[in-house]
Amino acid sequence: MGRYTRRFDEIGSEDLALVGGKNASLGELYRRLREAGVRVPDGFAITAEAYRAMLDAAGAWAPLREALEGLDVDDVADLAARGKRARQLIFDAGLPEELVAEIKAGYRALREEYGEDVRLAVRSSATSEDLPTASFAGQHETYLNVRGDDALLEACRRCFASLFLDRAIHYRVDQGFDHLSVALSIGVMKLVRSDIGSSGVMFSLDTESGFRDVVLLNGSYGLGENVVQGTVDPDEFMVHKPTYLAGSRAVLRRKLGTKALRMELVDDDPSRTTRNVDTPPGDRDRFCLRDDEVLELAGYACAIEAHYEMPMDMEWAKDGTDGLLYLVQARPATSVPTTTVLQRFVLDETGEVVVEGRAVGTKAVSGVARRIGGVDELSMFRPGEVLVAATTTPDWEPVMKTASGIVTDHGGRTCHAAIVARELGIPAVVGTGRATTRIETGEEVTVSCGEGDTGRVYRGRIPFHVEETAADNLPRPITKIMVNLGNPELAFTTALLPNDGVGLARREFLIGESIKAHPMALAHPELVRDPATREELARLTAGYPDGSAFFVERLSEGIGTIAAAFWPKPVVVRMSDFKTNEYATLLGGADFEPDEDNPMIGFRGASRYAHPAYRDGFALECKAMLRVREEMGLKNVVLMIPFVRRVEEAERVLQVMAESGLERDKDGLEVYAMCEIPNNVVLVDRFAQLFDGFSIGSNDLTQLTLGVDRDSEVVAFDYDERDEGVKELIRLAVEGCRRNHIHSGICGQAPSDYPDMAAFLVEIGIDSMSLNADSLVSTTWAVLDLERRLGRGAADSDANALLRELTHPGG
């Protein structure tokens, strides 16, 4: 294009030293990925050579070196004075005539391509930027809504000068870069009109766990700075990459953000180019992208990750004029969790929750809170304090690096505060909505991010401990060691533990915490007698066609998240097993549940599913599971029916499921039964003709074998899962499964609580044990040792010595 400029189709990844990380990536995307359907706005790069030529012509190198010599970046006043001097030197250097002519020519070409009214984005691109080890995200300036030759030239001069913003100087010192060896390139490109559309960021992995099989996407209305800076609480979407690439087209999970502000362009005020305005209530209550748009962007992410062969951090924008989606930046994702030793921060006590938001990281920390209202108050912050703010910007980073934790009112998991906290390895809770009004400077708080996607700030110092688990190099026993799981927010981190899949995915947590309402009340709100409850149901399901659609989407996304996390390992999903007293506590539940004297052996499990009183509720459960398997493509889901009393009852339930599209053996669907009633064992050969496996529920089996109410403290001394009668029934069940060539498993805690019980199960040849996550490693070690002593499997003494060292260092 010229001596100092290059069109995007003339540059690529190999031109990092010439055009900087951002422009090299944009050129690479524009040249290499358009054929894969990735849409990138056209533009041109002003090279790093132009920056050097500008300083050469002005004789500015020596004064610039003098301005920075002896700088102490921890002296805020000194940093501010020297940074201001350096920026003024560069701005005053001016642009050489040849460069001015090339910039104007590039602008003319963009007007010819997009029309005379095209607006420009002028973006910095340092030669040290967007590297796998240091992103330099947000360190330099971007100018939007630029129109006209004079405005463009002015923006370029300011962009060059931004190489020496205080925050950029500090970041280079932290990262070990020499100030004068780093040069700045500038990208000039069509501005995507997301001010009247939407925009955001996406990652080709889950940023908290490092789980590689999802695309994480955040978005809001208006220009993207609000999402990047954490000014808004954005919408969040996830797409499962393996099933997407296999042809399934479904959003795995979504979370509606408040999106309170929208950044728009300003045409009537020469002092600024953008401003924030309130988002209309109707827009706040709906997602900023349709599902098909989320899936299109997921396709972009998959193509870009495949091209670069590494996890990627991307920015996208939807143009409100043409309705098209554009990719406007891609860089390697930094601070990707890669540790093979998983740390779990566990609170030892509970306490008053002051605020909740989105968890960043998995750690916990206690400290003194310091509320900061703006940059002018940063000097009051003391190292080790918990930073509490409405939001953060790159100017705050020198102080953020000294914080023990961060709490913000606004922002999502990809906002500035989250990115910096992740890079620093400190816990953050973002998007709380009210931290700055609920937390006072000087009070002690505990920031907890180890409880799933929801981060919590507790009042006072809550004691906690750290559990460490080796996540790799564990030999696998012949007996499958699976995990019990009910909270989708823990799915990705739990999946990193050594496991053979999920032996029990409970949906009770999902229904109680995410759905909150009785399935029948959602299906038939007109039958709910209390007007206040009907109003609450209406609020709960706002934005959905009806309560049934709400239930199906929420349940399918929760179960889908668990299934995706463990894909392609089996995930055994138990249909709902609330008792009547538990169902009655759900919103609207009192209108649909009988009052029973002993709900434990009452209207529960299979007896509900084909009964007229719950049949419509069960139909919603089936519809959700059908969506998980067919629309989401997660065919690793195995369905399990609890508390099946009689063979005839099992036949009726299977018929109802088939009528709902869940036909056993169709598309590989397997259906298990819980073995928790003595009749299941007595008639094991008949039950085995109807099911593909038994999962022994030792709690209920013990209760019904010994005639002991497991909830009664009075007879607790008689409740023992290791009783000889209970063990005999388990043995007969396992033998019956083997005789009938179906799976045998157990999903109680007995194997992890009692080593002798685990030994018994291995000895009788059970196929799998499903345990809570905290006992996976220790039980795996015990089972490997048992199998070795029994002469089973390939576990040798060297493997077990390694396992013992990993799980019990020095022991």
* Lowest mean pLDDT, pick from 160-169, 205-214, 264-273, 308-317: 264-273
Q: Which of 156, 159, 675, 747 is catalytic?
A: 747
Which residue carries 């999962």 as its tokens? Answer: 695
Q: Which of 410, 416, 518, 743 is catalytic?
A: 416
pLDDT of residue 412: 84
On the question of pLDDT at 210 being above 80, the answer is yes
CA–CA distance, 714 with 708 (Å, rounded to integer): 10
On the question of pLDDT at 804 being above 60, the answer is no
pLDDT of residue 799: 41
Q: Is the dihedral of CA 733, 736, 740, 741 positive or negative?
A: positive
pLDDT of residue 74: 81
On the question of pLDDT at 734 being above 80, the answer is yes
**Model's pTM, two decimal places?**
0.83
The pLDDT tens digits of the residues spanning 749-762 come to 678 777 788 889 99
CA–CA distance, 55 with 182 (Å, rounded to integer): 13
* Lowest mean pLDDT, pick from 93-102, 159-168, 307-316, 403-412: 159-168
Segment 679-696 shows an average pLDDT of 97
Helix ranges (DSSP H) in 216-350: 225-229, 241-245, 281-284, 291-308
Burial class (CB in 10 A: 0-12, 13-18, 19+), 567: buried
On the question of pLDDT at 73 being above 90, the answer is no
Find out whether 24 and 15 touch, Cβ atoms under 8 Å: yes
Segment 716-735 shows an average pLDDT of 90
* Lowest mean pLDDT, pick from 173-187, 371-385, 752-766: 173-187
CA–CA distance, 226 with 435 (Å, rounded to integer): 19
Segment 392-399 shows an average pLDDT of 82
Nearest to 474 by CA among 751, 762, 779, 806: 806
On the question of pLDDT at 803 being above 90, the answer is no
The backbone torsions φ and ψ at residue 499, rounded to the nearest 5 degrees and listed phi first, read -160, 165
Classified as helix, coil or strand, 533 is helix
On the question of pLDDT at 411 being above 90, the answer is no
Residue 191 is given by DSSP the state: P
With cut-offs at 50, 70 and 90, classify the pLDDT of residue 341.
low
pLDDT of residue 779: 84
CA–CA distance, 646 with 607 (Å, rounded to integer): 9
Nearest to 557 by CA among 491, 493, 458: 491
On the question of pLDDT at 358 being above 50, the answer is yes
Q: How many CB atoms lie within 10 A of CB 570?
A: 22
Q: Hey, which residues does 188 pair with through a beta bridge? A: 44, 122
**% of the chain exceeding 70 in pLDDT:** 94
Segment 144-168 shows an average pLDDT of 92
Classified as helix, coil or strand, 382 is coil
Please list, in sequence order, all residues whose beta carbon lies within 8 angstroms of the beta carbon of residue 143, skipping any fewer than 6 positions away. Answer: 121, 122, 123, 155, 158, 159, 273
Secondary structure element (H or E) that encloses residue 46, with its range: strand 43-46
With cut-offs at 50, 70 and 90, classify the pLDDT of residue 139.
low
Secondary structure element (H or E) that encloses residue 389, with its range: strand 386-389
Find out whether 400 and 418 touch, Cβ atoms under 8 Å: no
With cut-offs at 50, 70 and 90, classify the pLDDT of residue 583.
very high
pLDDT of residue 793: 61
* Lowest mean pLDDT, pick from 304-313, 339-348, 520-529, 635-644: 339-348
With cut-offs at 50, 70 and 90, classify the pLDDT of residue 811.
very low
Classified as helix, coil or strand, 397 is helix
Nearest to 527 by CA among 610, 616, 451: 616
CA–CA distance, 221 with 277 (Å, rounded to integer): 11
pLDDT of residue 132: 45
Find out whether 31 and 8 touch, Cβ atoms under 8 Å: yes
pLDDT of residue 152: 97
pLDDT of residue 472: 64
Averaged pLDDT score across all residues of the chain: 90
On the question of pLDDT at 714 being above 90, the answer is no
On the question of pLDDT at 338 being above 90, the answer is no
Query: Any catalytic annotation for residue 288?
Result: no
Residue 759 amino acid letter: A
pLDDT of residue 792: 77
What ranges make up the beta strands (E) of 102-246?
120-126, 142-146, 184-190, 198-203, 214-221, 235-240
Query: Any catalytic annotation for residue 416?
Result: yes
On the question of pLDDT at 645 being above 90, the answer is yes
CA–CA distance, 153 with 86 (Å, rounded to integer): 19
On the question of pLDDT at 343 being above 70, the answer is yes
On the question of pLDDT at 715 being above 70, the answer is yes
With cut-offs at 50, 70 and 90, classify the pLDDT of residue 340.
low
Segment 277-284 shows an average pLDDT of 93
Segment 325-334 shows an average pLDDT of 91
What ranges make up the beta strands (E) of 261-340?
261-265, 274-278, 312-318, 325-332
The pLDDT tens digits of the residues spanning 90-133 come to 999 999 999 999 999 999 999 999 999 999 999 998 875 444 44
pLDDT of residue 810: 40
On the question of pLDDT at 380 being above 70, the answer is yes
